[in-house]
Chain A
Amino acid sequence: MKSAYSRNDDSFDLSIALPKGYLFDTCINVLNEAGYQTGGLFEDTRKLFTVSPKDRLRYVISRPMDVPVYVENGACDIGFSGKDVLAELESDVLELLDLRNGKCRVITAAHVSCINKVKEKYEHFGSIKIATKYPNIAKKYFDNKGMQVEIIKLHGSLELAPVLGIADEILDITATGKTIEENNLIELEEVLISTTRLISNTIAYRLKFNRINYFVNNIKSVVSESGKK
């Protein structure tokens, strides 16, 4: 049920969802560059949210996959989320800004020793197994290629799946390609390129446009600068 929006708390103007993990530090840096107070707010890593009285902002720290969910359901007005997560969840949120950082690629890969075998298998059995953290992206991608696949959802260590024989190929994100290489996997195709996006709740965007737009413009000003660097 979507009615969590706007709890009666006037100690802040906007509520912002931040993803834990590899995007967290980049988000904090962007906020800092844009002139928002970050020092002292995020030291206690177990805290799930924190309010900046100076900027009148509340930060909610959540798992990356939950950021669009928080925003879609109005628990947060805005959030920082990777495009990969947005593509997977297909959340009903507004994508306002590309921060052009946190870049990674969603790719398909197979074990170096199996590439030809996979092809043979597909010709023989007409279906291959794909292990992925992104079943939705995988389904769309292979549907569009007209390939018949069985999708197996895993929550981590995707590189192991071909080695253990769980799947023939994997569909996963990679930033540097290092993990892929180290596990003797070879990249086959690029599915999409992901960067960090600033997203907003669609109703909040209309009802609190001035506040949200002010925040977006502040972030935008540092994004285009770092683009020049």
Chain B
Amino acid sequence: MTASPATFRENADAALANERLQTALAKLPGGLVAHRRAAVAAVPEFETLREEARAIRDATLDHLAAHLEAFETKATAMGSVVHWAADATGARRVVTDICRAANARRIVKGKSMVSEEIGLNAHLEAQGLEVIESDLGEYIIQKRGEAPSHIIAPAIHLTEADVEADFRSYHMHLPADRPLPNPESLVSEARGVLRETFLTADVGITGANFLVAETGTSIIVTNEGNGDLSQTLPRIHIVVATIDKVVPTLDEAMTLLRVLARSATGQDMTAYTTFATGPRRAADLDGPTECHIVLVDNGRSDMLASAMRDALRCIRCGACMNHCPVYNAIGGHAYGWVYPGPIGAVLTPALLGIAGTSHLPSASTFCGSCEAVCPVKIPLVSLMRTWRERAHEQGTGSRTSRALLSLWAYAATRPALYHLLARFGVAFGGALSRSKGRFSRLPIARGWLRDRDIPAPQGRTFQQLWKETERGVPR
């Protein structure tokens, strides 16, 4: 990962100037956003479902320890081995130990955001293991040495031409002059290369969209079938999931599934939704002989005790970023860590600390589009506002903005002074620009005014106008 949250401003500038990225991002409104709108319109009870989904997540978090214990008991009874990892280091160690004990050399992975979060691939590779991402988007960016730029569409920042160029340089065993005229041919080529990987891998690692306490089941939701091949062909299956993924019963899982795909890709169901429970049974002809489930905390229990608790409701659909004007302008890499968009602006400071990440919650107009589409109604705007307050309290952020905020706060808590200053500002501003009615240059807003003008005050404050109106209206 090259970018970091601390260099968000520079990352964003670079993203805005990157024409290829802008071409790729321009497809979002007509793609995932339009598809979600149609899918939601087709379900009259969708708003009720959102409320139900929120209630399920809240109720589960309220009794999280009991549900995790129930999950562990049932999963163990069904033949899985359940491991607990307090942090990223612990989780990496557990996975490495399982691979070592199995004499594994090659690992195939289904898509998993928590494995990105804990830096699993780099760690396993440093231990001499070969790790291959099998989700097509993840495969493409793994080869490029990039992080995902979206939680469900990791290569959304790339165009078809980018992928063609990449495949020509990676797949050197194929004829250099082969035609790759369209996405179909590129998908076909990747299918062939990855099929070989599935058949020769010793270990398959997947994430989990949900864990079901009632049955000890892990659920994955995919379209390609790569997660299914990852948890069926290799002799060992490892599920890596954070502790917030558990739900009590199959019924809650079904309700959440009904909002997940519709919010994510605008499908009512993805091609594959798979419930996996334990290793292969005695009579089965295929499937892994060992199934391990690694329950990762890595900051979640701290979030549970914090003001960020509501963010643990997240089911990782990506709707908040698809609908975010900031994400649409700069893409995911500018956020500098694993989780981009509004949920990233809330999660990243929670998991890494607000020092060095305070730009993320600041990069929002608080337009509220994210909240309006969140299937579990996370109050993303107020959570981002909380982070801004924390950043101010802890003295992070630029000196100029802190000084201006302090000045404003001084005036805003003294109404008489505030009105006086407002009247002066409005009158002075109005007089200054009377000829044009707008400003195209101001000393402290050069960046803002580069591409637009700002309307000038029209001579009187709101309070003055209000008083005049009140006087004029007969009672």
A binds B: no
Interface residues of B (CB under 8 A from A): none
